[in-house]
Amino acid sequence: MFVDEATVEVSAGDGGDGAVAFRREKYVPRGGPAGGDGGKGGDVIFVASHNANTLADFRHVRHLRAQKGAQGGGNNMSGKSGEDVVVELPVGTLITDLATGELVADLIEAGQRVVVAKGGDGGQGNARFATARNRTPRKATPGWPGEEKKLQLELKLIADVALVGYPSVGKSTIIAALSNARPKIAAYPFTTLVPNLGVVRWADYKEFVIADVPGLIEGASEGHGLGIQFLKHVERTNLIAHVIEVVPQLEGQETERDPIQDFHRICKELASFNPEILERPQIVILNKADLPFVSDEIERLRAYFEEEEKLPFIAISAAAHQNLAELQLMLGTALENAGFGKQKEFWEP
């Protein structure tokens, strides 16, 4: 199950108590203080990893506790430090302290580590309190408590390209045709209930990550459909790929869908959620171009998007594998060059 939000409580280990002890050796009747310090408490550590791709584990694990440090011993022996708790999180996870609202960390790179709760220091043994006036101190200090926090975890997928568009325009078919991803595909709306990620190899030793974002319809930014849940996954992408389709017109009926209107409706939802999204490079992909009623519309749509919107346009058929190599090259080259060239600076409704 794909889960992109979770709440977890973390408790670092308390430090171990310092010890009160004295030397007890033969022929040393008045041995001095020899109590060791307590061990440090264990930390709670989060690590970004590609091995994790969801926060589903936190549906069952709501509290993470690190080990307490051991008490100090005699002969100036320090206590053993408590074991850390190390948990892998998906790359792209934001960690927020719910008490303060502070962003603790943004895990954007694999291997990135962050200590979210620090273990308490160990207490001091009585050996540390010996003075010229008091050579047999019977004082030791307790360990310091470990940090405790309640954290909000939010996963925002990191992809190079985001496929956006109405349900059933063929986004899942495109990602399956371009990459190694195997999303569920069917001819009904909202087949895709979770974002899908795929890796596309477009040249020798060159790859990019593509994401299929589900459920964008008019009103998505206000909670309609599934879009509000997944719009945040578009925020981290470098390039927006609008997937449009031509809806067949039945005899005697007018269709409520037009690919140009669909494009503007999706742009409106993206801008309502975060206007900065539409400042990124964009491309328009007309899918299902192998169908007769679609091929008749290609040149009209190409002229509109290239001349009016100043956006690159390509007609493909993911199901028939038409123009997929050209699409791969366009996307890969744009990512490498940080854009397609001149585009509108701002989206205009």
Instruction: State pLDDT tens for residues 44-66.
Output: 999 999 888 888 888 788 899 99
- The reply to whether 11 sits in an annotated binding site is no
- The reply to whether 168 sits in an annotated binding site is yes
For residue 214, the SS3 value is coil
- The reply to whether 172 sits in an annotated binding site is yes
- The reply to whether 90 sits in an annotated binding site is no
Q: Say which residues have a Cβ less than 8 Å from residue 82's Cβ, sequence separation at least 6.
A: 13, 16, 39, 40, 41, 42, 66, 67, 68, 69, 70, 119
- The reply to whether 287 sits in an annotated binding site is yes
- The reply to whether 241 sits in an annotated binding site is no
| DSSP string computed for 296-323 | TTHHHHHHIIIIIS---EEE-BTTTTBS
Answer whether 111's CB lies under 8 Å from 47's CB.
yes
Q: Which of 159, 186, 165, 147 is nearest to 64 (CA)?
A: 147
Instruction: State pLDDT tens for residues 134-144.
Output: 988 999 999 99
What pLDDT does residue 107 have? 94
Instruction: State pLDDT tens for residues 117-132.
Output: 999 999 999 999 999 8
- The reply to whether 318 sits in an annotated binding site is yes
Q: List % helix, strand, coil for the chain (3-state, nearest 5).
A: 20, 25, 55
The angle subtended at Cα 228 by Cα 225 and Cα 230, nearest 5°, is 100
Answer whether 130's CB lies under 8 Å from 109's CB.
no
Asked if pLDDT for residue 193 goes beyond 70, the answer is no
What pLDDT does residue 166 have? 86
- The reply to whether 340 sits in an annotated binding site is no
Answer whether 87's CB lies under 8 Å from 35's CB.
no
- The reply to whether 319 sits in an annotated binding site is yes
Q: Give the C-alpha separation, 5 to 16, whole Å.
A: 35
Asked if pLDDT for residue 250 goes beyond 80, the answer is no
- The reply to whether 34 sits in an annotated binding site is no
- The reply to whether 212 sits in an annotated binding site is yes
Element (H, E) at 328: helix 324-336
- The reply to whether 275 sits in an annotated binding site is no
- The reply to whether 171 sits in an annotated binding site is yes
Rounded to 10 deg, the angle between the 324-336 and 171-178 helix axes is 80
Tokens of 86: 């190390």
Instruction: State pLDDT tens for residues 85-113.
Output: 999 998 889 999 999 999 999 999 999 99
Q: Give the C-alpha separation, 342 to 219, whole Å.
A: 29
Higher-confidence position of 204 and 112: 112
What pLDDT does residue 313 have? 96
List of domains in the chain: 5-155 (2.70.210.12), 161-336 (3.40.50.300)
- The reply to whether 123 sits in an annotated binding site is no
The pTM is what?
0.73
Tokens of 128: 């540390």
* Identity at 273, one-letter amino acid code: F
* Residue 234 confidence class, pLDDT cut points 50, 70, 90: confident
Answer whether 45's CB lies under 8 Å from 104's CB.
no
Asked if pLDDT for residue 2 goes beyond 90, the answer is no
For residue 156, the SS3 value is coil
**For 237, how many CA atoms within 13 A lie in the half-sphere containing its CB?**
32
- The reply to whether 167 sits in an annotated binding site is yes
In which residue are the tokens 């010229």 written? 132
